[in-house]
Amino acid sequence: MKCLVIGAGNAGRPVARILNYVGNSILMTDRKKMNEFPQKVQETLKIMENEGVELAFDFDNFESLKSEEIEYAYVAPTVPLNAPVWEFLAEKNIEVLSNEYISDIINKQLEIDTIGITGTLGKTSTTHTVAEIFRAAGYNVWSCSSRMGNLLSEVIVDGIVNGLHKSNDVAVLELPHGTSRLMSKVELKVGIITNIFPDHLDEFDYSMEKYVERKLFITQSSEILISGIQCKENIESFRDDVIYYCHEHELCKVQGTLENGLLNINYNIPELGLEGNFNTPFKLRGYYFDNSIGAAAAALAYGISEESIKKGLSNFKGIEGHMEYIGNYKDREVHFDAAFVPAGLINTLESFDSENLVVVVDNPDSTNPRDKVKVGEVIGKYAKVIICSGYNETTKKFDVKAANDVIKGAQKSPAIKLATEDMFVAGELAIKHSEPGDIVVHVGPGAITNYDDLKFKMMSGIKEGCKKYD
């Protein structure tokens, strides 16, 4: 069929590409010019053009189209309801495709068992832990997480186009709330929801109820549902067969404890005929503990053996940008983490000795604004020094107010508080305002959205600081 895709942004690109992949003729339009898109997006658009997608940029004259050839259209959610294109589609009686329709197409492509992971915090590390366990069990695994790209719907579609769903035995997919638009009808063999905390509420009319509703798509699409106990209140009205996991709670069918460097897993899942316990060496910090319990629960429910789970957990060394240990610089231990919402910051910072903690923060906003005052308030409870960069590592724009808002939130803290222009200067200042024996920890969304560049800038600053300051 001939399909018109209106909008070459984050929503339109993966839709156009998957529709083209399954044999449709696609025309994608956008009011922007090609050179107005970021370089990486331009590269993707050129790949799509080579695959057969027809591109029309700097375009807003829909009346010039041969409408009799257009059978369907997909309109990006960013297109305003009063945009002229809606009148054009109505006049020409062109059917508008829904996200659910696209999701059905993706579902038909995924003929392998799929494990999906959603939630507010811990999605990425849980995804990688599950994938490591399945690899240890001998599976060929297609794993997809935010480490592969900021727009996961595009990464997943790219994987399908490149045949990863055919060359692997199982798919382990991170499913953020944006990606869930195109994955809501994908049938998951096992679904995992880690937790639900306030985040991205500006995208949901500042309604926590709407945000929760989006996350709970996984309750309908999962054959087996695994959940952190924190989600029970939200989930229990949808399903009564959820396998909850946690540290210790009478309602958890999979429980974990950490003692003397060993992760102990106890499980009792009567509906699956599973009961037992095992332990394995565990050297990772912070939230990796919770997420490893969830990963073990998912693997047990799928049918992976204890030995393979132990092997997978033992093999897993963590992922870049998530409680990552960088090294020792002038007797300062340097760590790099991506926490940026209050609950995640607490989880990260409680893993360290707050009496010796120097926290370096990149602008907490990414493409979405966040409560920077609250971020500063949380960090102020743990840090002896707070250094915040106003540079937004996602949008590549400087916003001094963002840094000042973080400092404002920490105003009641006795910590030294500094706002800077970028992460190079922040790295320098982390050495200047710390002492041997201190711990320097980076937090902020840039560890996800701009990992390589941000880490390079911060570490260049730290190395320069080591030269300048004793």
Given its phi and psi angles, is residue 7 left (phi above 0), alpha (psi -120 to 50 degrees) or beta? left
Indicate whether 265 and 336 sit together in one domain.
no
The domain that holds 93 is classified in CATH as 3.40.50.720
Tokens 């811990």 — which residue?
A: 122
* Number of domains within the chain: 3
Nearest residue to 220 (alpha-carbon basis) of 118, 331, 124: 118
Token representation of residue 241: 């067969």
Indicate whether 457 and 338 sit together in one domain.
yes
Q: Which of 315, 344, 365 is the last residue of a domain?
A: 315
Indicate whether 79 and 207 sit together in one domain.
no
Q: Which of 315, 342, 359 is the last residue of a domain?
A: 315
Mean pLDDT, the chain, as a whole number? 90
| pLDDT one-digit tens code per residue, 166-214 | 999 999 999 887 787 888 889 999 999 998 877 666 666 677 677 777 7
The predicted pLDDT at position 322 comes to 86
The domain that holds 220 is classified in CATH as 3.40.1190.10
Indicate whether 78 and 52 sit together in one domain.
yes
Give the separation between CA 216 and CA 116, rounded to whole angstroms: 12
Give the separation between CA 174 and CA 172, rounded to whole angstroms: 7
The predicted pLDDT at position 339 comes to 87
**Any bridge partners for residue 143, and if so which?**
172
Give the separation between CA 388 and CA 328, rounded to whole angstroms: 21
Is residue 66 very low, low, confident or very high in pLDDT (cuts 50, 70, 90)? confident
| pLDDT one-digit tens code per residue, 220-271 | 899 999 999 998 988 988 898 999 999 888 889 999 998 888 999 999 999 9
Indicate whether 139 and 73 sit together in one domain.
no
| pLDDT one-digit tens code per residue, 299-327 | 999 999 999 999 999 989 888 888 899 99
Mean of pLDDT values over 63-73: 81
Indicate whether 441 and 398 sit together in one domain.
yes
The predicted pLDDT at position 203 comes to 66
Nearest residue to 194 (alpha-carbon basis) of 261, 294, 115, 54: 294
Indicate whether 430 and 458 sit together in one domain.
yes
CA neighbours closer than 13 Å in the CB half-sphere of residue 305: 8
The domain that holds 356 is classified in CATH as 3.90.190.20
Domain residue limits at 301: 102-315
Indicate whether 311 and 377 sit together in one domain.
no
3-state secondary structure of 205: coil
Q: Which of 315, 334, 354 is the last residue of a domain?
A: 315
Mean of pLDDT values over 439-443: 95
Token representation of residue 414: 């006795």
Token representation of residue 322: 């998530």
Indicate whether 184 and 301 sit together in one domain.
yes
Question: pTM value?
Answer: 0.84
The predicted pLDDT at position 63 comes to 78
Query: Which residues neighbour 77 within 8 Å (Cβ) at sequence distance 6 or greater?
Result: 11, 181
- Report the number of secondary-structure helices (H) and strands (E) in the chain: 17, 22
Indicate whether 348 and 452 sit together in one domain.
yes
In the chain, the percentage of residues whose pLDDT exceeds 70 is 97
With beta carbons less than 8 A apart as the criterion, state whether 119 and 193 touch. Answer: yes
Indicate whether 194 and 296 sit together in one domain.
yes
Indicate whether 253 and 146 sit together in one domain.
yes
